[in-house]
């Protein structure tokens, strides 16, 4: 960092200093400022962080365009509508993605936060000591420090990769031309979402996954989702490790190793999507006495640093998961624990995760395997298919099901969903789990007909149907009919 002399730096003593203007940092800055605190916010990149600029927003915008193209192609088979194949204009596609970012950006803008009274400093901040942050122009001695610096794309060590071009999710949305053959290292959510997006926009796509693709999802739902992706035409290689990259710009060859031996894959573009790593390197955490590891900053359950009580961490850098919605929830935990002195903890079994391929695959709480490991025979699985949901039939989107993992006392400990709009539907289960509702409670609401979200009530009701329509209950009802 090219610093001004210490004597020339302006000294600030706010209530709160925040490093990072992503989801977690902005939520805290907004809440703290509206509570009347003096807040300094550091950001050396784009306001809005990874999610707005290189992550959730542009990827979902690209997916929306890709799904529209796919719907045009499938209109004849699904609905009897004859259409011409769509003509993909890559420059216009990129412009539409940028337009979505620009429409959302004002909510996260420097001007908005300065309007709230936040001092926004567009510089890199780092610790000078346990109580002080410094940047090029300021020295800040706050009462509390929140580190919300997020994460960055992880690039593995692969022979030849250091000299050849590649893309990550942070750069792929600026790719000049649509790839002829996009090779993707990584079969997780980022890799598969972008695989489907580029395939539906006209690229040949090969995904190379060292272990199992969608490995954190329900195995049955993951297998069906991968089957659908392969059925579309996307090549997905599992159990393949990329060991060498060779060739020249736009003429790349990947050498992979698997149980079957070596495989060579040729393509013009390479996307690396093997995960993300916390952005720790610029912070000078050792000077701040902040304990950290490969997962991020080590904190107590309330997100307070275990080694420097002045410091808190939220979002990806807190090492508890890498989701925008988790960062937002962390912000609320900080406000409760640090500002309002409430006994809040960032410990939950209700963290949802959704991969936005078509059909969407999502999970919340424990997986079936985790639940059975924790509770043994006390766990039951309730499953209901979309093929029995009338709205799924009318929309010709019948793939998938909802699974609910419940204890015999009716407590819901987890769920998995595969199906169109699965992420939206999963919110009903999230509300139920957060409020400790039972499976029976999910049978009590009136679900509008016809909707895909009916599947939640139908799944819950199916669990009780055998008991409700048992011979014993039938006999009881028969006896009750004798009462005038």
Here the CATH number for the domain that contains residue 286 is 3.50.50.60
Same domain, 282 and 140: yes
pLDDT at 326: 95
Q: pLDDT confidence of 464, banded at 50, 70, 90? A: confident
Domain stop point among 274, 297, 318 = 274
* Mean confidence (pLDDT) of the chain: 95
Q: With bands split at pLDDT 50, 70 and 90, how would you rate the model's confidence at 476?
A: confident
Residues 17 and 133 placed together within one structural domain of the fold = yes
Determine, yes or no, domain membership for 201.
yes
Question: Are 191 and 224 members of one domain?
Answer: yes
Residue pLDDT, tens place only, 332-341: 999 999 999 9
Provide CB contacts within 8 A for 99, sequence distance 6+: none
pLDDT (0 to 100) of residue 5 = 62
Of 6-15, 23-32, 129-138, 354-363, the range with the lowest mean pLDDT is: 6-15
Q: Is residue 2's pLDDT more than 60?
A: no
Taking only the tens place, the pLDDT of each residue in 203-259 is 999 999 999 999 999 999 999 999 999 999 999 999 999 999 999 999 999 999 999
Same domain, 263 and 178: yes
Domain membership of residue 398 as a residue range: 352-468
Angle at alpha carbon of residue 155, lines to 154 and 160, rounded to 5°: 175
Contact indicator for 312, 146 with CB cutoff of 8 Å: yes
Q: For position 351, what pLDDT does the model report?
A: 93
8 A C-beta contact, residue 313 and residue 299: yes
Asked whether residue 89 is domain-assigned, the answer is: no
pLDDT at 3 over 70: no
Is residue 468's pLDDT more than 70? Answer: no
**Domain assignment of residue 483, yes or no:** no
Based on the domain organization, do 319 and 376 belong to the same domain? no
Does 98 fall in a domain?
no
In a domain, 65, yes or no: no
Whether residues 409 and 436 share a domain: the answer is yes
Q: Which residue has the tokens 């954190």?
A: 216
Residue 9 has pLDDT above 70, yes or no: yes
Q: Give the closest residue to 159 by CA, choosing from 246, 262, 241.
A: 246
Contacts of 140 (CB under 8 A, 6+ apart): 11, 12, 13, 14, 17, 40, 125, 132, 133, 134
Dihedral sign for Cα 157, 158, 164, 170, please: negative
> Which phi and psi angles does 167 have, rounded to 5°?
-120, 155
Q: 180 and 212 in one domain?
A: yes
pLDDT digits (tens, 9 = 90+) for 26-75: 999 999 999 999 999 999 999 999 999 999 999 999 999 999 999 999 98
One domain, residues 332 and 237: no
CATH number at residue 387: 3.30.390.30
- Do 185 and 289 lie in one domain? The reply is no
Q: Which of 339, 364, 380 is the last residue of a domain?
A: 339
Q: Rounded to two decimals, what is the model's pTM?
A: 0.94
pLDDT in tens, 309-333: 999 999 999 999 999 999 999 999 9
410 and 458 part of one domain: yes
Render pLDDT for 148-194 as a digit per residue (tens, 0 to 9). Answer: 999 999 999 999 999 999 999 999 999 999 999 999 999 999 999 99
Please report whether residue 447 resides in a domain. Answer: yes
Residue 416 has pLDDT above 50, yes or no: yes
In this structure, is residue 93 part of a structural domain? Answer: no
pLDDT over threshold 50, residue 97: yes
Residues 137, 21 share a domain: yes
Residue 347 lies in a domain: no
Same domain, residue pair 261 and 325: no
Number of domains making up the chain: 3
The region, left, alpha or beta by phi > 0 then psi within -120 to 50, assigned to residue 139 is: beta
pLDDT tens, position by position, 369-411? 999 999 999 999 999 999 999 999 999 999 999 999 999 999 9
């Amino acid at each position: 960092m090219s610093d001004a002399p210490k004597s020339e730096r302006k000294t600030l003593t706010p209530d709160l200093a925040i490093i990072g203007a992503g989801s977690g940092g902005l939520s805290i800055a907004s809440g703290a400022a509206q509570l009347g605190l003096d807040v300094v916010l550091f950001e050396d990149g784009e306001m809005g962080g990874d999610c707005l600029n290189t992550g959730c927003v542009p990827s979902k915008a690209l997916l929306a365009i890709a799904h529209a193209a796919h719907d045009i192609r499938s209109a004849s088979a699904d609905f009897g509508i004859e259409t011409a194949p769509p003509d993909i204009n890559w420059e216009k596609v990129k412009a539409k993605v940028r337009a979505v970012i620009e429409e959302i950006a004002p909510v996260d803008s420097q001007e908005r936060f300065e309007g709230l009274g936040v001092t926004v400093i567009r510089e890199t901040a780092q610790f000078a000591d346990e109580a002080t942050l410094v940047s090029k122009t300021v020295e800040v001695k706050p009462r509390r420090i929140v580190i919300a610096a997020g994460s960055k794309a992880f690039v593995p060590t692969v022979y030849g990769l250091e000299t050849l071009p590649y893309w990550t999710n942070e750069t792929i949305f600026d790719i000049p031309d649509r790839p002829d053959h996009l090779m993707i290292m990584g079969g997780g959510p980022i890799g598969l979402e972008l695989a489907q997006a580029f395939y539906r926009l006209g690229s040949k796509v090969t995904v190379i996954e060292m272990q199992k693709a969608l490995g954190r999802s329900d195995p049955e739902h993951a297998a069906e989702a991968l089957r659908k992706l392969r059925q579309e035409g996307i090549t997905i290689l599992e159990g393949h490790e990329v060991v060498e990259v060779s060739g020249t710009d736009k003429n790349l060859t990947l050498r992979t190793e698997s149980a079957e031996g070596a495989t060579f894959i040729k393509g013009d573009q390479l996307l690396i999507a093997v995960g993300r790593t916390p952005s720790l390197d610029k912070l000078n955490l050792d000077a701040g006495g902040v304990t950290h590891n490969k997962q991020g900053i080590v904190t107590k359950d309330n997100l307070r640093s275990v080694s420097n009580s002045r410091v808190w961490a939220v979002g990806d850098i807190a090492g508890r998961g890498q989701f925008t919605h988790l960062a937002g929830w962390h912000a609320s935990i900080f406000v409760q624990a640090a500002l309002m002195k409430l006994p809040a903890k960032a410990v939950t079994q209700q963290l949802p995760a959704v991969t936005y391929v078509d059909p969407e695959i999502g999970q919340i709480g424990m997986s079936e395997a985790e639940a059975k490991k924790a509770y043994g025979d006390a766990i039951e699985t309730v499953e209901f298919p979309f093929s029995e949901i009338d709205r799924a039939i009318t929309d010709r989107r019948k793939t998938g099901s909802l699974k609910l993992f419940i204890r015999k006392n009716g407590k819901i400990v987890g769920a998995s969903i595969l199906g169109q709009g699965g992420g939206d539907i999963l919110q009903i289960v999230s509300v139920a789990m957060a409020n400790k509702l039972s499976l029976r409670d999910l049978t009590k609401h009136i679900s509008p007909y016809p909707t895909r979200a009916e599947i939640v009530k139908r799944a819950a009701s199916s669990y009780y149907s055998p008991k409700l329509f048992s011979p014993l209950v039938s006999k009881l009802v028969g006896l009750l009919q004798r009462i005038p």
